[in-house]
């Protein structure tokens, strides 16, 4: 597919100035309209899309479905036991011969053991989140594992690049689960300008318009979480999927800012209770006690009273459940049309 006049006219000024012919003779914008970017090259995938490493949600069936559809699936380490995660990685290997990754939540007690497990299991790539430590980078790089940290700020993006990261995911506050404060629209171009390594955009992306917008901000790939909650292969409880597809634009709220770990969820009974608790001056310790185990209650039990249903602000736009393959193919067909 050739780059049209429109996409050249739409090129952001900074990128236009930097536009260069690359080794395959194509300009950067031609490669983006082909959906062939440094991210597809880095990971050996067809579409530059990663599935978010959502704790409790992102397991082997979902990850393999995304990888088989041409994206890169991810198994979330969360705080899960290492034996369970080893089984999940091996199961994913049995379901796909395509690359998939593992998300290491850096503040989790299992982080060190998981850092070693991904080396032992020769996982293709790792994303990191919920922390700023570069502790495991050297070992992963030595093992040939690609490392892609999630960053909520320019400062952390630069630090991760210096530590040897292969790419970064600039994640806006529109995302579900544990979030930073900057928005996708503001964060992505600033990170793109600050680092040389490729940048993926995350937060608020669920269709081809979000992919095209991310590329116009200078990203070379996207990470998508909430859209995959409403996929056929996602193993979460039906109540969770129903909440996502039933949500409107104002149905997600952020709880726990005062604990230092803000979290975006569906405005469920528990989320409203936690919000009130926070307003009424409850302590972070009591807050953690009320919310302990609530994500499991959402994912496994579909518990509408005590579950914490993490999801992004884009849930309002998601109205149906589809196979991952359809989600990805429709998203990129729409993005290509918009970018041409
Ligand atoms: O990690 C995520 N999303 C998650 S993890 C999770 S489980 C959890 N549950 C309750 C509390 C905390 C976690 C649910 N969702 N996304 C990646 C992400 N990383 N988002 C934001 C960050 C992040 C934040 C701060 C990364 C680095 C960081 O460093 C701070 C600094 O000072 O540099």
Q: Is 12 in the pocket of ligand 1 (CB under 6 A)?
A: no
DSSP assignments along 111-152, one per residue: HHHHHHHHHHTT-SEEEEES----TTHHHHHHTT-EEEEEES
Cα(333)–Cα(338) distance, integer angstroms: 9
Residue-level pLDDT at 14: 42
> Cα of 178 to ligand 1 centre, how many Å?
4
Q: Whose CA is nearest to atom 32 of ligand 1?
A: 132
Q: Is 212 in the pocket of ligand 1 (CB under 6 A)?
A: no
Q: Is 130 in the pocket of ligand 1 (CB under 6 A)?
A: yes
Sheet holding 177-178, edge to edge: 177-178, 263-266, 252-255
- Which CB contacts under 8 angstroms, 24+ apart, belong to 315-318? 315/176, 315/226, 315/229, 315/244, 315/247, 315/251, 315/252, 315/266, 316/247, 316/248, 316/249, 316/250, 316/251, 317/206, 317/207, 317/249, 318/206, 318/226, 318/227, 318/229, 318/230, 318/244, 318/245, 318/247
Q: Whose CA is nearest to atom 14 of ligand 1?
A: 177
Q: Is 152 in the pocket of ligand 1 (CB under 6 A)?
A: yes
pTM, whole model, 2 decimals? 0.92
Q: Whose CA is nearest to atom 31 of ligand 1?
A: 132
Residue-level pLDDT at 35: 83
pLDDT digits 0-9 by tens, 78-120: 999 999 999 999 999 999 999 999 999 999 999 999 999 999 9
Whether the CB-CB separation of 200 and 219 falls below 8 Å is answered with yes
Q: Whose CA is nearest to atom 24 of ligand 1?
A: 130
Give backbone dihedrals phi and psi of 129, rounded to 5 degrees, phi first. -155, 170
Residue-level pLDDT at 339: 93
Q: Whose CA is nearest to atom 13 of ligand 1?
A: 178
- Closest ligand 1 atom, CA of 159? 33
**Can you give the pLDDT of all 340 residues of the chain as single tens digits?**
222 323 333 334 344 434 455 667 776 666 666 789 999 999 999 999 999 999 999 999 999 999 999 999 999 999 999 999 999 999 999 999 999 999 999 999 999 999 999 999 999 999 999 888 888 999 999 999 999 999 999 999 999 999 999 999 999 999 999 999 999 999 999 999 999 999 999 999 999 999 999 999 999 999 999 999 999 999 999 999 999 999 999 999 999 999 989 999 999 999 999 999 998 989 989 998 999 999 999 999 999 999 999 999 999 999 999 999 999 999 999 999 999 8
Give backbone dihedrals phi and psi of 40, rounded to 5 degrees, phi first. -65, -35
> Cα of 17 to ligand 1 centre, how many Å?
34
């Amino acid at each position: 597919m050739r780059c049209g006049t429109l996409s050249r006219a739409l090129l952001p000024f900074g990128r236009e100035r930097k536009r260069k012919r690359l080794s395959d003779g194509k300009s950067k914008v031609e490669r983006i309209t082909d959906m062939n970017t440094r991210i597809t090259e880095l990971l050996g995938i067809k579409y530059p899309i990663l599935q978010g490493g959502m704790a409790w949600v992102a397991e082997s069936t979902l990850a393999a479905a995304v990888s088989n559809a041409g994206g890169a699936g991810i198994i979330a380490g969360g705080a899960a036991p290492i034996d369970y995660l080893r089984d999940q990685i091996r199961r994913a290997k049995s379901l796909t011969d395509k690359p998939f990754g593992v998300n290491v939540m850096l503040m989790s007690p299992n982080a060190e053991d998981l850092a070693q497990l991904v080396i032992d299991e020769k996982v293709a790539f790792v994303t990191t989140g919920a922390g700023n430590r570069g502790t495991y980078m050297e070992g992963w790089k030595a093992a040939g594992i690609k490392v892609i940290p999630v960053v909520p700020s320019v400062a952390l993006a630069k630090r991760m690049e210096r530590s040897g990261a292969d790419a970064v995911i600039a994640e806006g506050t529109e995302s579900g689960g544990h979030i930073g404060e900057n928005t996708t629209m503001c964060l992505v171009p600033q990170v793109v300008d600050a680092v040389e390594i490729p940048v993926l955009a995350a937060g608020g992306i669920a269709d081809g318009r979000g992919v095209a917008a991310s590329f116009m901000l200078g990203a070379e790939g996207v990470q998508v979480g909430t859209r995959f909650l409403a996929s056929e292969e996602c193993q979460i409880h039906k109540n969770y999927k129903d909440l996502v597809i039933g949500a409107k634009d104002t149905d997600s709220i952020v709880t726990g800012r005062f604990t230092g770990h803000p979290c975006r969820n569906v405005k469920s009974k528990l989320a409203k209770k936690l919000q009130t608790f926070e307003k009424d001056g409850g302590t972070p310790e009591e807050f953690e006690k009320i919310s302990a185990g609530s994500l499991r209650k959402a994912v496994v039990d579909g518990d509408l009273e005590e579950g914490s249903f993490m999801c992004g602000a884009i849930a309002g736009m998601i109205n149906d459940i589809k196979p991952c393959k359809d989600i990805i193919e429709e998203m990129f067909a729409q993005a290509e049309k918009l970018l041409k």
